[in-house]
Structure 1
């Protein structure tokens, strides 16, 4: 689907030939002398249209208007959240026989509103067809976004179009059944990204991972017939001397829980346990479109978590790449096991920052629901940058604490650390486990268990947090030192404690 930005007033929109014309009507609408202004003014006067977001009026074959169908949509103040709220109920309007649509602001539009319009249209018109060959595919192939002044919003428009492409790729891979999104197939998708300018891909198999000593990652993969893959993507947009931002995406392509098996109900949704990996793929697709001046590395440890005779058992002790030994008390806490080795690998790259993304804990869903992703960080500047990026991209997160006292429950009598610490503060103790493997580099962990997909009748991947991550990277690219300086974000969070640098075969317990 192609997006175009066009300077367009309501009087000019009258002659736009399209299947669907959506007029975004703000509070205080000032009508002109054209047919569309008259239509909006009359609808407001008689009460058929309200400017409150979500209140829409559908019109057909409006006299003197070239569009086959016109939808009047109230956008309230015209801010990003209101625009998104106005367009989300219009999913049906962008399907069927609609091939060309025009979305026109009937008033001033800022950068946030333009970005919200692009993202909303992309999301509501998305159709999953990979394993539904008889499904009605998306017919919409061109969307024109009309604003009075294109100059002021051109950069935001370009970024939002790239973001939409990345989000859609993340949704596509998140939605695929596990047998259509194996570790091997994820690696193929990553290699496809390497066909874009500036992107490189390296894929490692079991023998390579064994040489690196990734004992925790290998332990999780042991129970599956599907071979693991360790995927390394690189986007080189800056000088070689500039250290990269490293994104680490959890790639459990199906999670049964292993020997600590999950209940059967809704286990099908565990295909979404690789949404962290899918978000990394999506970010790299967007980077290829935008070409920002920054170096980024994406790491995806991909495998299945299955029960069989070779699978890890509760009580097993494995040695991670860092040299730390881990007692596996619960095999369903496998995401942190694959991530810990990837984080150790990331530290070797001497990164500017490390951000891991994972559908890690049900506890985060209980705490934050499906609205905000959970954010944990050892670095104040990095945390502030991610919080600000989330707000700007309409993909918000919320910071949770990392006090050292939370690590008490991870002590083990038989290893350097246990992989779980009980039910209380489960998302925090999971983050404390990961923190042990980061070293001294600025690090953040995004727990997307509540935001990566929706259940019920709207079941499907959301593509989050691609928008947040891309906004952060674009901001970092624009900053003098490659790390954005952010004003304080009004989200309270206690100062986190920094974990000591991991030592080889450490007997220290935290």
Structure 2
């Protein structure tokens, strides 16, 4: 989809060639301060006076072939206080009204004086509302909308935020594409090919197979993969936006391309949703897509351990003990707790980059869905500054998370008589004990774990991937790049002598 940002008055928006126009109307504006009475504003003001548009956020009014308005269809929608949340709701509602008619191929989204965060929310909302998955359909109906002109009062004031929003949209849609694909169209090898397609001047990609992973000593990762005929892949992405001396942020995405539960087989109901178990990996790919667009001044490494978890004659069994890359032995009490096994080896591997921070992203526990539902992702962190940075980033882009505890006492549940640690600790506080398991493999590096089991995809009639937490990760990385710039001393300019007092 082609997004364009333009400085547009309401009159200019009304004269723009497009199939449809969405006009957002915040509570703070009654249109009386318009420099000249234009047909769009006059129509909207009269609707308010007549009571045809109620004041509640989300209320809308549609019109067809308004005099002196070039777009064929117009939707006027209330957006309350103009906050990103209200704007997102308003755009989603208005686009839903447009879906009832002929396909909309070009759209003007008139936002006026709304804030830069609201502009981001609007762009993301129209992309979400118009998204369609088509890859495995025999007669696909691709997305009709191909061009969106976003009208604002001052383009230069929101250009940076708009560019960020467009990059996030592209990253989210890449993440959704791969998470939505059925497992036979998204094998570990396919996921590696998707990563290789991201290679550019700023992104390097390496892919390791079973022999290389075995040579490294990733026994936990190998144990999960050994029951499948699909060979594992360990994907390493490097984004270079800063000098090599600047320590990278490492993102680690769980890449279980299908999870049957292994020998601890899942119940059949809704097992098809286990194609989404690589949503963490998909979000890392999507984040790198956005990095390639935005080119922030920092270094980022992405690690994706990708494999299937299948039952079979070679599958790992409950009670088996395996040796991880860290040297720690693990008793596998439940083969359906496999995500933490592939992540623990990736976390150990990540430390060779001497990172400034490590963040793993995983659809890790059903317990997180019970605790937080589908609104906030679960956040665990060993560093308060890292935790706050992720919380702030999520709030800024409407991709929120919630911090949960890592008290040492929770780790008592993971004790084993036959290994250094067990991979599960019972039902009580299951999302916390999963995080405590991972914490054993992070060393002293600041680390955060995002459990996205409740936010990475939707069930029911709207079943599909959400692309979360790409917005949160991108915003965090942009903020981190700004922090690096502040913390890095400037080199002295060449050609000048130092002046001594």
So what's the TM-score if we normalise by structure 1? 0.93
- Runs (5+) with no aligned partner, structure 1: 485-510
Choose which of 102, 112, 117 in structure 1 pairs with 2:108: 102
Choose which of 373, 377, 381 in structure 2 pairs with 1:373: 377
Q: Runs (4+) of structure 1 moved beyond 6 Å?
A: none
Task: Give the C-alpha shift of residue 483 in structure 1.
Answer: 8.1
- Aligned-partner Cα distance in 2 for 1:99–1:461: 24
Task: Give the C-alpha shift of residue 482 in structure 1.
Answer: 7.7
- Aligned-partner Cα distance in 1 for 2:28–2:442: 52
Query: Matches of residues 169-318 of structure 1 in structure 2 within 5 Å?
Result: 169-194=174-199, 196-318=200-322
| 1:348 maps to 2:352 | yes
Task: Give the C-alpha shift of residue 443 in structure 1.
Answer: 0.2
CA-to-aligned-CA distance 1:132-165 (integer Å, 9 cap, x gap) = 1313111211101001111211110000100000
| Contact 1:94–1:140, Cα closer than 8 Å, also in 2 | no
Choose which of 130, 133, 149 in structure 2 pairs with 1:125: 130
Query: Matches of residues 33-48 of structure 1 in structure 2 within 5 Å?
Result: 33-48=37-52
SS at match of 1:332: coil
SS at match of 1:143: strand
- Aligned-partner Cα distance in 2 for 1:391–1:151: 24
- Runs (5+) with no aligned partner, structure 2: 489-501
Task: Tell me the residue number matched to 1:415.
Answer: 419
So what's the TM-score if we normalise by structure 2? 0.95
Task: Give the C-alpha shift of residue 304 in structure 1.
Answer: 0.3
| Contact 2:320–2:332, Cα closer than 8 Å, also in 1 | yes
| Contact 1:329–1:418, Cα closer than 8 Å, also in 2 | yes
Task: Tell me the residue number matched to 2:146.
Answer: 141
Task: Tell me the residue number matched to 2:169.
Answer: 164
Task: Give the C-alpha shift of residue 479 in structure 1.
Answer: 1.1
| Contact 1:220–1:312, Cα closer than 8 Å, also in 2 | yes
Task: Give the C-alpha shift of residue 55 in structure 1.
Answer: 1.3
| Contact 1:247–1:298, Cα closer than 8 Å, also in 2 | yes
Choose which of 149, 152, 155 in structure 1 pairs with 2:157: 152
SS at match of 1:479: helix
- Aligned-partner Cα distance in 1 for 2:180–2:385: 34
Task: Give the C-alpha shift of residue 91 in structure 1.
Answer: 4.2
Task: Tell me the residue number matched to 2:499.
Answer: none
Matched residues, number: 482
- Aligned-partner Cα distance in 1 for 2:311–2:484: 49
Say what the alpha-carbon RMSD is for the aligned residues. Answer: 1.3
| Contact 2:344–2:441, Cα closer than 8 Å, also in 1 | yes
| Contact 2:241–2:296, Cα closer than 8 Å, also in 1 | yes
- Aligned-partner Cα distance in 2 for 1:77–1:454: 28
- Aligned-partner Cα distance in 2 for 1:469–1:122: 18
